[in-house]
Structure 1
Amino acid sequence: MLNSADLQLFLAILREGNMVAAGRRAGIDHSTVARRLTALEQALDARLFERSPRGVTPTPAAFALQPHAERIESELLAASASVAARDSAVEGVVRLATTEMFGTYLVAPHVERLHLRHPALTLELATESRSTSLSKREADIAVMLTMPPRGRLIARKLTDYRLGLYASRDYVAQHGAPVDRGDLHRHRFISYIEELAGFPEMIALDQILPGAAIAFRSSSGAAQQAAVAAGMGIGMLHVFAAGQDDRLVQLLPQDVEVWRSYWIVMHADIQRLPRVRATVDFLDEMMGMMRGRL
């Protein structure tokens, strides 16, 4: 007989691509995952995954089962949210997926405020450059650079923010500050590795200076800021982070700035959970406090 726990484990295997990671997500060991998967396949009289040393490969039967399992998962989450909404206790784990700069400079420095308010709530901060899939339950809340595709997702703009040109004080002393946009072409620059940038919006330098001479690239915004601070060149950096670094000076602030937006996104099934509401309230409060820096 099928049970919801085994179907959720099936979804974890499907999403992770291997049984070890699925077991880690479910809090069980690899042998238990294998045993429960075998029992599920026997109950269905169908093979769901082809096993190999490199992981598992879904079969057509797995893809046929997936939408049914996801509907059951959604109903269970909705039921949990409906019951939890009647209880004001804020506890449990919330995983927040966001970009490195947002997580490092806007969330982490203030997370103690959330902990003091809700000691039984654990925030997991997943900072990645790629877009996290909420539909695959990789996170509870995501802060993205674009509106998500349509689906059972709740999304709204969280805040706007600015990117500006920065160089180190030592770099300016050695090479001089550019006097206008035309003067930028004699300088060297720092930017993203384009194919590793999860969002096209990350790459702002091309918008203001196509064909710039790039001396260093990184998939990390923090690494770019560190390289700029070390005098490697000029970078298009987040004003809310670079503006707090005394080693840096903003160049052409009245002429060269790019605006971007952060969007907060969550699955409709969990938006009323107290732990999710508390985390969203925390993010809104932080954005209100940081408005001047953004």
Structure 2
Amino acid sequence: MHTNWEDLRLFLAVAREESLSGAGKLLRLDPATLGRRMARLEEGLQATLFAKSPQGYALTDAGAELLARAEVAEQAMRAATAGLPVPSGRLTGQVRIGAPDGAANFLLPQVCAAIARDNPDLDIQIVALPRVFNLSRREADMAIGVSAPTAGRLVVQKVTDYKLHLAAAQTYLDRNPAPESLADLKAHRLVGYIPDMIFDRELDYLSEMGIGRVPLASNSVSVQINWIRQGGGIGVAHDFSLPATPGVRRILMDQVSLRRAFYLIRHADDQRNLRLSRFAEDLAGGLRAEVARLEALA
């Protein structure tokens, strides 16, 4: 049987996601259709590629062997198109960005909207997840991270620093005495991350302040910001989020001032891809400018 690239592309998604549903979401294909395609591929190759169970699709030895060959083909396809010039100077196709939800909610929409206006045939997808993205599994074309990974065949570029401070809604401060020191926080309801769901040590803000109990906790920055905005308590907020949250102001600025950084992370195989490199350049420049603009308004 002749195995074409489309067969391999679908196989790669199922192998990496280890499920039809996960691969279907990535490919925008119905899982049942994807299952039929995999069955047809197995039939054509006269090999069982997956051990199927309620837990998902696990590769067999034959599947692992095909995965190695398929990844070689994937790299060859990327290399074949990497050096093609961008028609009319405009970007086309699809780009998927993985990002922590703070950046995904308060920065990327406006930055990517500007890029999209200049490139009307470009499709941009933002995957907002509170975890580290696996670019080796091609979960995204590139990712924004809050720390620089040291493992894997990745290219890492520091994009910009950003600031964070303790913040509270004026409605909360109207009902409770404003803290004058870190010690006073013990008398307040705090908002922060669920401790055992912090996916990067750079996000463990409250423990740096010696705070253990977090009465209002979420793995989502957006939920935390909304809790603060609704007067639920005091929490750490990105300065760039504050212009979007009227009624919230920074407190204890002379005692707590945090600085973190965003990194743009790409797969090493994509370095020569002119389209993705051009997009990465526009994205990094837009993020730097937007963080500076919003922090000046905070």
Structure 1 residue 254: Cα displacement: 1.8
2:175 maps to 174
1:76 maps to 77
Structure 1 residue 79: Cα displacement: 1.3
Structure 1 residue 95: Cα displacement: 0.5
Given that 2:168 and 2:228 are in contact with CA atoms closer than 8 Å, whether structure 1 keeps it comes out as yes
Distance 1:231 1:61, change over 3 A: same
SS at match of 1:227: helix
- Distance (Å, rounded) in 2 between the aligned partners of 1:58 and 1:207: 43
SS at match of 2:135: coil
Given that 1:168 and 1:248 are in contact with CA atoms closer than 8 Å, whether structure 2 keeps it comes out as yes
Match of 1:283, as an amino acid? L
1:283 maps to 283
Match of 1:242, as an amino acid? L
1:163 maps to 164
Given that 2:111 and 2:283 are in contact with CA atoms closer than 8 Å, whether structure 1 keeps it comes out as no
1:270 maps to 270
Given that 1:215 and 1:233 are in contact with CA atoms closer than 8 Å, whether structure 2 keeps it comes out as no
Cα deviations by residue, 1:146-168 (Å, 9 ceiling, x for unpaired): 11233332111111111210111
The percentage of aligned residue pairs carrying the same residue is 30
Given that 1:93 and 1:121 are in contact with CA atoms closer than 8 Å, whether structure 2 keeps it comes out as yes
Structure 1 residue 229: Cα displacement: 1.7
Structure 1 residue 69: Cα displacement: 1.9
Given that 1:132 and 1:142 are in contact with CA atoms closer than 8 Å, whether structure 2 keeps it comes out as yes
Greater mean deviation of Cα atoms: 182-191 or 226-235: 182-191
Structure 1 residue 219: Cα displacement: 1.4
- Distance (Å, rounded) in 2 between the aligned partners of 1:39 and 1:251: 62
1:116 matched to 2:107: no
- Distance (Å, rounded) in 2 between the aligned partners of 1:222 and 1:30: 31
Structure 1 residue 272: Cα displacement: 4.1
SS at match of 1:263: strand
Distance 1:151 1:75, change over 3 A: farther
Greater mean deviation of Cα atoms: 168-177 or 58-67: 58-67
The two structures, once aligned, show a CA RMSD in angstroms of: 2.4
Given that 1:85 and 1:272 are in contact with CA atoms closer than 8 Å, whether structure 2 keeps it comes out as no
SS at match of 2:137: coil
Match of 1:267, as an amino acid? H
1:226 maps to 226
- Distance (Å, rounded) in 1 between the aligned partners of 2:195 and 2:88: 46
Given that 1:129 and 1:219 are in contact with CA atoms closer than 8 Å, whether structure 2 keeps it comes out as yes
- Distance (Å, rounded) in 2 between the aligned partners of 1:70 and 1:168: 51
1:258 matched to 2:258: yes
1:93 maps to 94
1:144 matched to 2:136: no
Distance 1:163 1:60, change over 3 A: same
- Distance (Å, rounded) in 2 between the aligned partners of 1:268 and 1:87: 26
SS at match of 2:215: strand
Count matched residues.
Answer: 293
Given that 2:78 and 2:273 are in contact with CA atoms closer than 8 Å, whether structure 1 keeps it comes out as no
Match of 1:199, as an amino acid? D
Greater mean deviation of Cα atoms: 91-100 or 214-223: 214-223
Structure 1 residue 25: Cα displacement: 3.8
Match of 1:13, as an amino acid? V
Given that 1:229 and 1:248 are in contact with CA atoms closer than 8 Å, whether structure 2 keeps it comes out as yes
- Give 5+ residue unaligned stretches, structure 2: none
- Distance (Å, rounded) in 1 between the aligned partners of 2:175 and 2:33: 62
- Distance (Å, rounded) in 2 between the aligned partners of 1:35 and 1:259: 50
Structure 1 residue 250: Cα displacement: 0.9
1:62 maps to 63
Given that 2:86 and 2:275 are in contact with CA atoms closer than 8 Å, whether structure 1 keeps it comes out as no
Greater mean deviation of Cα atoms: 134-143 or 202-211: 202-211
- Distance (Å, rounded) in 2 between the aligned partners of 1:209 and 1:244: 29
1:197 matched to 2:198: yes
Structure 1 residue 280: Cα displacement: 1.8
Structure 1 residue 139: Cα displacement: 0.5
Distance 1:241 1:8, change over 3 A: same
- Distance (Å, rounded) in 1 between the aligned partners of 2:110 and 2:253: 26
- Give 5+ residue unaligned stretches, structure 1: none
- Distance (Å, rounded) in 2 between the aligned partners of 1:98 and 1:63: 29
Query: TM-score if structure 1 supplies the norm length?
Result: 0.89
- Distance (Å, rounded) in 2 between the aligned partners of 1:166 and 1:153: 35
SS at match of 1:90: coil
Given that 2:82 and 2:275 are in contact with CA atoms closer than 8 Å, whether structure 1 keeps it comes out as no
Structure 1 residue 224: Cα displacement: 0.9
